[in-house]
Chain A
Amino acid sequence: MLRKGIALAALGLALLAGSAQAATHPKEPEKLQWSFEGPFGKFDQAQLQRGYKVYREVCSSCHAMSQVYFRNLGQKGGPFYDSKYPNPNDNPYVKALAADIQVGDIDSETGDPIQRPATSADHFPSPFPNEAAARGANGGAIPPDLSYISKAREGGPDYIYSLLIGYVNPPAGLTIQPGQHYNPYFPGDLTASWTGKGHVPQGGVLAMPPPLSPDRVTFDDGTRSTVAQQSRDVAAFLAWAAEPKMEERKSFGLAAMIYLLILTGLVYASYRRIWRNVAH
């Protein structure tokens, strides 16, 4: 009797623990299909190239990517990898892309600060000289470094895509401070600025204005430049930037898995053989 009761109580506890919690949560990011998902997934190089263009022409005016070097663009698995140039520093496309960008340096003769064209050995420059300048230009918020943003947010590329396409007019009853923008995918708590009826709206406000608009970027491969297309492509580019070794990792993993599986099978066979005469 007692034992049954305890077992039931335990079952009840287990069920309770499984159920979800409720609070003011942002909207679930839209779940997209990505070419780089799954154990055999690879980046879509054309998509990465378009994504780079979106970053370069739009996002880079506010966001640094200081972990990414121009040479990375020409590495295996990167947007401008060309098997003719195993050393990305020789890749003429990468050199040309770098040379388009000015980076700060010191004149080695006079010691004066100068601007010079970047080389493949430079990392992407920061748009602001320091944090105070970044804050000052963005209503008090610092645009985060985008090198690893894809790993630093729950949902990764799905979240970034959703955030970029997600800007909508705030529902009536929500007070938005100047310089702030409502986005249902951005985590936040709007209880304090909500005077409307019904539930507090999902999401939060952020200092980034909607950065994309139709035809904001012209894609060289003729792809139609909708906001959704730009968002998808830049999210894929950021996923690559966060995990530039992903393709190497997965192909290495395949070899490791095959090796381990064969070895496991062999050792299991030896186990059966060695133990065959032992009653246990």
Chain B
Amino acid sequence: MSGHSTYEPKTGFERWLDLRLPIVRMAYDTAIEFPTPKNLNYWWTFGGILAICLMIQIVTGIILVMHYVPHVDHAFQSVERIMRDVNYGWLIRYMHANGASMFFVAVYIHITRNLYYGSYKAPREVLWIIGCVIYLLMMATAFMGYVLPWGQMSFHGAVVITNLLGAFPIVGESITTLLWGGFAVDNPTLNRFFALHYLLPFMIAGLVAMHIWALHVVGNNNPIGVNVKSKEDVVPFHPYYTVKDGFAILVFMLLFAYFVFYNPNILGHADNYIPANPLVTPAHIVPEWYFLPFYAILRAVPDKLGGVLAMFGAIGVLFVLPWLDTSKVRSMRYRPTARLYFFIFLVAAVVLGFCGAKLPDDPVIPGLTSFTVIDADLNSYVWLSRLATLYYFAYFLVITPLLGLTETPLPVPDSISAPVLSHPATTPAGAVASPEKKG
């Protein structure tokens, strides 16, 4: 993909600059001329959507910082002041708070897209790993951001999560003390979380640049998962994908605007409008929705350290996925068996999300007591989480490696331009998995 630039400087100044700093050439090659498979569907628009989300968070975040006071005695009131007295402060704050949720909606769709179409496989492993690091940093950023308004959930969420790190042997206690800046979550904790919450988004921005760089070395994957073979297979990024991404971004903005203007607090927890009080613990501490599956995995393991390891392992396993997957076929369009297991995986992830929001000992089917296994009734959210956690890990560690070796994939088209239908001799009936979804 790289190596052949068709940029031609038009003006004298561009020629002069091009010999000294070919920055216009770089922009042209990445955003205008970049050859892009012509069969990308709407699942491919979420990369652009994510870039917009990051920009929105950074711009609104910097404006918030101009009015926010990072001190335990003032943080909550300063956020209220932003919403009441700063001109359009309500807009900035609601955009930032709901923007974080929208960011996660987009990143989860983006990751799901990669899993389904096998975009993590060679030669895109580094691209995928950079993406995993971005996701990890996003979670750290959102967690620390949620602490800043210093409401009840901010404070007690911070206590629960930082305490987890104490479970690590030997180093655990030093890490928590370092994070807290003392021996409990207090003003120093708020201050360092604030500093890090400001820093991490810019590290994310740097990684996004590397992510795009890596993308432009290997090129886009596409819904059939077959490499680009000829000029017939591609169109220049601009105007074809600028306009398609632009349309998708606008639809996404409509959803975003619905939350910001008409339902700005629906994704948050009411308790975070109660100023933090270390002496009063909320009846039910729940993290933001985007952490719930991992929270459920954490609580599924009866041992504290084991739970923490499982929680981090659930993300860690993504990093090695390119080497766990033994199938040569990228797109699950041609892997009906893998597709089935994948959809169960998605169900398991959603079930984990539900479990994360519930009290572990509550019954799943109300009023039914079955029998106690180990430490809890089988009819409880903790056991449902255990089941789903087991499937989560089995999917990556057992099913994915074995499937590649045992399944028989459907015939894969020769190229993006030559649809599989033009080879009737090799195509069993019904082999083309929903060709209407291509565009």
Contacts and interface: CB of A to CB of B under 8 A. Distances in A.
A152 B270 contact: yes
Contact of A20 (B262, B274, B366, B439): B366
A250 to B, nearest CB: 6
A252 B264 CA distance: 14
Interface size class of B (residues with CB under 8 A): 35 or more
A6 B341 contact: yes
Given A13-B388, A264-B254, A279-B417, 12 more contacts: A17-B351, A17-B354, A17-B355, A22-B367, A67-B80, A148-B80, A249-B90, A249-B94, A257-B254, A261-B254, A264-B250, A278-B235
Interface stretch (A160-168, A208-216, A221-229, A267-275): A267-275
B384 A17 contact: yes
B15 interface: no
A23 interface: yes
A16 interface: yes
Interface in A126-169: 144, 147-148, 151-154
Interface of A is mostly: helix
Given A260-B250, A271-B244, A280-B39, A151 B84 contact: no
A263 B257 CA distance: 14
9 contacts: A6-B340, A21-B359, A151-B265, A249-B91, A257-B261, A264-B250, A264-B254, A271-B246, A274-B240
Interface stretch (B62-70, B299-307, B342-350): B342-350
A152 B247 contact: no
A196 interface: no
Contacts of A72: 84
Nearest to B232: A279
A129 B250 CA distance: 52
A256 interface: yes
B337 interface: yes
A111 B137 CA distance: 52
Given A7-B340, A154-B270, A278-B240, A21 B351 contact: no
Given A13-B347, A252-B261, A21 B363 contact: yes
Interface residues of A, number: 49
A242 B253 CA distance: 26
A81 to B, nearest CB: 15
B338 to A, nearest CB: 11
Contact of A267 (B250, B258, B261, B364): B250
B195 interface: no
A249 B261 contact: yes
A16 B352 CA distance: 12
